[in-house]
Amino acid sequence: MAIFSFCTDPATLETARWFVCYLTNGKHLIAYTSFGTVLLLLAITAPTALAFGFGGAIAARSRIAPLRWFGKGYTSIVRGVPDIVFFLFFVIALDQAFEWTRHQFFCPDWPDAIRQGNDFVVCQRAKLPLSNAPQWVHEVYGFLLAVLTFAIVFGAFAANVLFGAMRAVPRAQIETAEAYGMSERQAFWRVLIPQMWVFALPGLSNLWMILVKATPLLFLLGVEDIVYWARELGGTKGALFDYPHPDWRLWYFLGLLVFYLTLTRFSEIVLGRLSQRLSHGQATLAGEAQRKAAV
């Protein structure tokens, strides 16, 4: 598929027009959308992981022993497993858990074993997605599994950061709030939570940068991300190519380098301004520096 009419026969084109045709063919247009896939992953995973982390931190602070054990166990176990091992295993386990649950609901009278050697066999109604579902449903399902896996992994790290930030808020602040008549719940939400963010932001900023660098793991999860397309389009002519060329993977991956460096720099600027805003009026080194600069 070509956008321009002069791209009908690439062999007759001079260099400039050849590159125009090459970079606007159908495969490249699909590849350009993979940048949006990475940004969408970040946009969904970051708040979801933060929610997981917030829940894990609150659970780890709970006075209810089983809930506290769950919160601390979540952060310790997930943080202790190498990311790549967790990603490769958990996506399969999560997919099978969903299908097993649906199998128990839709096919309770199934006579055969679900686990048959190395095969995991469920009834047709229990499969996710259904075998007759369109291709985009399969792609969305795979993407959502990846998002959930990313959120669980980075949520554990966020839980550890938030737990430490909550403990960093001076105890005197809570005692003062309680002395003014606030309940423990009110002091938690009105005093502890607003003040903990300034202590949590450095750790969360580092976690965001790690999340950005971890997005190429989408390639390992079967999602056609920018790493997948850089490898496929940068190689010599194959099933994906309309135009033969030498091995250009170096240039494609250099393009990814520029993309990630640009995204990292933009993140640094945004996080720096957010840190400055949150530090205003706080009894921290950054807050003290702002007060001295204002004098």
pLDDT band, very low/low/confident/very high, at 291 (cuts 50, 70, 90): low
Instruction: Give the C-alpha distances (Å, rounded to integers) separating 111 from 119, 172, 185, 187.
Output: 16, 63, 51, 56
Residues 163 and 61: beta-carbon distance below 8 Å: yes
272 within a domain of the structure (yes/no): yes
- C-alpha span between 20 and 44 (Å, rounded): 34
Residue 68 has a pLDDT of 92
List helix spans (H) across the chain: 15-23, 26-61, 65-80, 83-106, 135-168, 171-179, 184-187, 193-214, 226-234, 249-279, 285-294
Asked if residue 115 is part of any domain, the answer here is yes
Q: What is the mean pLDDT of residues 252-274?
A: 91
Query: How many structural domains are present in the chain?
Result: 1
Question: Residue 281 pLDDT more than 70?
Answer: no
* Token digits of residue 217: 């793991």
- Within a domain: residue 11? no
**Residue 204 counted as domain residue:** yes
Residue 273 is part of a domain; what is its CATH number?
A: 1.10.3720.10
In a domain, 257, yes or no: no
User: Cα separation of 110 and 127, whole Å?
Assistant: 14
Render pLDDT for 35-53 as a digit per residue (tens, 0 to 9).
998 999 999 999 999 999 9
The answer to the question of residue 102 being in a domain is: yes
Spacing of C-alpha 79 from chain mean position:
15
Q: Above pLDDT 90, what percent of the chain?
A: 26
Q: In this structure, are residues 60 and 75 in contact, taking their beta carbons and an 8 Å threshold? A: yes
The CA–CA distances, whole Å, from 278 to 49, 130, 172, 207 equal 21, 47, 20, 18
Q: What is the pLDDT of residue 122?
A: 86
The verdict on residue 65 lying in a domain is yes
Q: What is the span of the domain harbouring residue 187?
A: 27-248+266-279
Report which residue type is found at 233: L
pTM score: 0.81
Query: How far, in Å, CA of 83 to CA of 96, rounded?
Result: 20
- Asked if residue 194 belongs to a domain, the reply is yes
